[in-house]
A and B are shown apart, each in its own frame.
Chain A
């Protein structure tokens, strides 16, 4: 699919040279990670959406491998192989194929094989500066490739995390909201549950069991569970211990007794997630909303503001940036800024480029601790089609 004719292939090659020249000119080292990657690392970190779209296979030796669905994870692995802790500042760029199953069928905008050209910046401690560098460089590369008309959408997952941290929520509810952020329906269901009085919220827990456990300490619950299993001829199988099962029971009982979260708090989360519009006014709206509710999201909002100032200083047209609080909710490994470049011709479902901050990824693939990381990739076939008239 990547190029059906020699002419298309050459056009893509020429475009790739332009893009890579911009990247290497800015001090990014060109790398070419392996196309075939170990499957388990990918499947663990990329999030369920992409996981279901990864081509996985077993080689004759029994090793589980995959065709890389993106180049970010392979670049992380490459960096990690060079620097065990991954905490050395590094700039990489690449251009090469990635593979994704298209559940709704293959078409020109959704090929199962496509080329990504992109950059990754690791261990840059000044986060906003790193984000500005990456976004400005990608926009510059797009312009040099001939793209004229495009829009940039941004989101900030760090701001959402800070909001959830700052709110008065039961700890388990907070964890659940964080874990479900990626899944809209489950998130909404969780919000609703948090706001419901406990008596009505009792879900699956066996009520008779709950009644007997209420008031017990963990050791008593463990004893109760072990006696209950023995009395009913149930064997303890699998990897969860008696303690884990007991803790689960206790937590479920506690949930049924928790005070409902204030309606104002639920409303604040919902209102925040609806904020969308030009990036600078959005900041003021967020600030006003937080002031109104007396919530302090700490440095997250300052970072948002500083980022916009740095963007402006780097020549990015801040007035044209569209912020959306919801944006980024389907890209599980991002942790801060997220952005996407879309063109009127291809539409918002087929972005030409995308990227953002993913500070937990290097730790997840083996670095000792979190390492600041920000990157972005260009969908080169889409770019070419946009430049060749698709995107006038």
Chain B
């Protein structure tokens, strides 16, 4: 087996651009190997490191299964996709981009619902009246379940939603949502409001280490070299003002 450290980097979308910027700012010159569309790369001056380009969801899986040593991914995806995240991976450095809050949002017209406690009260009444549970549209099923359990809400059902989640209450396919928001503008445009204490997670992109990967001495040394390049950000949580 290779002694090299494998670093997984996003291969698509805005996160790819921001990750590339962050790596460049850290003085890590990432280059793709072979054809332009290759999925492997290397870092100038670091022979012990191999770069793997993958989608965000794939990076989380690779970290979870220990198939890569390090990876760049949003905390929201990691906590959603790995039920025992802190046992499987280590959040090494917040990277200061990819900010997103995972929040519980309800229709603005629910004047009687401003906090999770109100929702907890209303849920059983809703069930009795409508003969069904509240429907929560989200792609964050695990985060939602854990948060609702912590807040004592049981009378709900999750409707899996893989796109345009904000539109589901107006469309009538869900009653409320759990989704990411940065400014709250999209929520508002869809007639929704975030609940005061309904922030499940303040997420951003992180440099993440897999606890299950094969950590040879070489890989350990390479990890230290990479981590040393990323200075700790001043404000590890929360978007810039």
Contact = CB atoms under 8 A, between A and B. Distances in A.
Contact of B111 (A52, A172, A185, A206): A206
Interface stretch (B37-45, B117-125, B207-215): B117-125
Interface string A229-247: 1000011111110001110
B152 A185 contact: yes
A186 interface: yes
A322 B111 CA distance: 48
Contacts of B21: none
Interface stretch (B47-55, B63-71, B72-80, B169-177): B169-177
B81 to A, nearest CB: 13
Given A204-B196, A234-B191, A237-B191, A225 B111 contact: yes
Given A204-B196, A235-B109, A245-B111, A252 B118 contact: yes
Nearest to A332: B154
A237 B129 contact: no
Contacts of B133: 44
A104 B84 CA distance: 7
A204 B118 contact: yes
Interface stretch (A144-152, A175-183, A343-351): A175-183
Given A203-B115, A234-B108, A248-B113, A176 B121 contact: yes
Given A103-B84, A185-B152, A189-B152, A239 B113 contact: no
Chain A interface secondary structure, helix, strand, loop or mixed?
Answer: helix
A237 B168 CA distance: 10
A157 B217 CA distance: 57
A164 interface: no
B229 interface: no
A205 interface: yes
Nearest to B83: A103
Contacts of B115: 203-204
A47 interface: yes
Contacts of B31: none
Nearest to A204: B115
B12 interface: no
B221 interface: no
Nearest to A184: B152
A392 interface: no
B175 A182 contact: no
A357 B96 CA distance: 54
A105 interface: yes
A24 B240 CA distance: 69
A49 B184 CA distance: 32
Nearest to B132: A44
A205 B191 contact: no
Contacts of A179: 124, 154-155
Contacts of A252: 112, 118
A182 B129 contact: no
Interface in A323-344: 332
Interface in A306-327: none
**Most chain-B Cβ atoms within 10 A of its Cβ — which of A172, A239, A249?**
A239
B172 A239 contact: yes
Interface of A: 43-44, 47-48, 52, 103-105, 172, 175-176, 179-180, 182-183, 185-187, 189, 203-206, 209, 225, 228-229, 234-240, 244-246, 248-249, 251-252, 332
29 contacts: A43-B157, A48-B145, A48-B149, A52-B145, A104-B84, A186-B151, A187-B152, A204-B117, A204-B196, A205-B118, A235-B108, A235-B191, A237-B109, A237-B169, A237-B170, A237-B191, A238-B169, A238-B175, A240-B126, A240-B175, A244-B129, A245-B110, A248-B112, A248-B113, A248-B118, A248-B122, A248-B125, A252-B112, A252-B118
In the complex, the 6 A-B pairs of residues with the closest C-beta atoms, listed nearest first: A186-B152, A248-B112, A204-B115, A204-B114, A183-B152, A249-B112
Given A244-B129, A248-B112, 20 more contacts: A103-B83, A105-B84, A175-B124, A180-B120, A186-B151, A186-B152, A187-B152, A203-B115, A204-B114, A204-B197, A206-B114, A234-B191, A235-B108, A235-B109, A238-B110, A240-B107, A240-B126, A245-B109, A248-B111, A248-B121
